[in-house]
């Protein structure tokens, strides 16, 4: 059996069509501000992608670029200005930050109502307590991708490999909210392969190229590969392509979760605009 490929491009287009429809008739244009420090090539590329997509949708978008050695206090002051600017709906500070800047100080400085990356502790708390808020884009993208392809998560045995604050942990909260039974595995998990084989839905976000082979996958499982690993000229996922022989569905790398992350940033920007104006996103 060859696994069905779950295209992130296709699912992202559906998100964009929905956002465009919702934008029509709104009396305002969502405004996204992205701050980047330094010239890390991956960050430059990601920020360009976000800005381009926001403009293509009809949002206002502005990127601010600061030098690698920009002081932390100056960055915090700039965030306060953007917090106070009533025209600005979403503020995103591109990660990773230079070493001299403490990411937690930066993430906590952003107004939770403008926190389109969903990393502010208030939004993290709301995610886990079941409330309304802004939640991280990549995990949102994973869930949206699965829903686009009709995957019913209710009661499913879901295993996530990776427990970062950006992907694994918030995804565990989102899958719980979808009534999946969730296991969050990591580098200290014993018998990881056996744990992975229990999964009806297996999500891999470890940042280890081709960590998961076909022996790790329960026949018929749905496998989501979040990994993006640059190996020489190639971009490799955390899942070996041979997994397609046993899984019922698999996300490609590239073209799987990546496009969904940008799509959910656009979703969050509109949601932030609505939350700030009306206290609700619909």
Positions marked catalytic: 50, 94, 117
Residues 257-276 that bind ligand NDP (CB under 6 A): 257-258, 261
Of the ranges 27-35, 74-82, 107-115, 181-189, which one interacts with ligand NDP (CB under 6 A)? Answer: 181-189
Options 11, 192, 246, 264; binder of ligand NDP; rule CB under 6 A:
192
Of the ranges 32-40, 124-132, 183-191, 271-279, which one interacts with ligand NDP (CB under 6 A)? Answer: 183-191
User: What would the two tokens of residue 128 be?
Assistant: 């886990």
Q: Which is nearer to ligand NDP, 81 or 190 (CB)?
A: 190
- CB 234 to ligand NDP: min, Å: 13
Options 93, 97, 167, 174; binder of ligand NDP; rule CB under 6 A:
167
Q: Which is nearer to ligand NDP, 154 or 188 (CB)?
A: 188
Pick left, alpha or beta for residue 58 (phi over 0 → left; psi -120 to 50 → alpha; otherwise beta).
Answer: left
Of the ranges 51-59, 110-118, 161-169, 213-221, which one interacts with ligand NDP (CB under 6 A)? Answer: 161-169
162 part of the interface to ligand NDP, by CB under 6 A: yes
Residues 201-260 that bind ligand NDP (CB under 6 A): 205-208, 211, 226-229, 257-258
d(CA 7, CA 224): 11
Pick left, alpha or beta for residue 278 (phi over 0 → left; psi -120 to 50 → alpha; otherwise beta).
Answer: alpha
User: What would the two tokens of residue 61 be?
Assistant: 């978008």
Q: Around Cβ 147, how many Cβ atoms within 10 Å?
A: 14
d(CA 174, CA 34): 25
- CB 138 to ligand NDP: min, Å: 4
Q: Is 173 helix (H, G, I), strand (E, B) or coil?
A: helix
Q: Around Cβ 216, how many Cβ atoms within 10 Å?
A: 24
Q: Is 31 helix (H, G, I), strand (E, B) or coil?
A: strand
Q: Whose CA is closest to 28, among 86, 114, 115, 113?
A: 86
- CB 192 to ligand NDP: min, Å: 6
Give the interface size with ligand NDP as a residue count (CB under 6 A): 24
């Amino acid at each position: 059996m060859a696994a069905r490929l779950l295209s992130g491009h296709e699912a992202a287009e559906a998100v964009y069509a929905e956002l465009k429809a919702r934008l029509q008739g709104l009396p305002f244009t969502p405004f996204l501000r992205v701050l980047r420090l330094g010239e890390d090539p991956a960050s430059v590329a990601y920020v360009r992608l976000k800005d381009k997509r926001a403009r293509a949708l009809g949002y206002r978008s502005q990127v601010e670029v600061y030098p690698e050695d920009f002081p932390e206090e100056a960055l915090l002051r700039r965030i306060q200005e953007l917090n106070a600017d009533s025209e600005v709906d979403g503020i995103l500070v591109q990660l990773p930050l230079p070493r001299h800047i403490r990411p937690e100080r930066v993430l906590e400085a952003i107004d939770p109502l403008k926190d389109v990356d969903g990393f502010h502790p208030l939004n993290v708390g709301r995610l886990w307590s079941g409330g309304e808020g802004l939640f991280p884009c990549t995990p949102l993208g994973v869930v949206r991708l699965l829903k686009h392809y009709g995957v019913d998560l209710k009661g499913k045995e879901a295993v996530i490999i990776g427990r970062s604050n950006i992907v694994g942990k918030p995804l565990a909260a989102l899958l719980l909210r979808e009534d999946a039974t969730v296991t969050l595995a990591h580098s200290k998990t014993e018998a990881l392969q056996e744990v992975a084989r229990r999964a009806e839905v297996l999500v891999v976000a470890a940042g280890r190229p081709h960590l998961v082979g076909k022996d790790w996958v329960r026949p018929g499982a749905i496998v989501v590969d979040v990994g993006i690993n640059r190996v020489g000229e190639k971009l490799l996922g955390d899942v070996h392509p041979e997994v397609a022989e046993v899984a019922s569905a698999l996300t490609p790398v590239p073209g799987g979760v990546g496009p969904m992350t940008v799509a959910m940033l656009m979703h969050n920007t509109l949601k932030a605009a609505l939350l700030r104006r009306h206290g609700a996103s619909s």
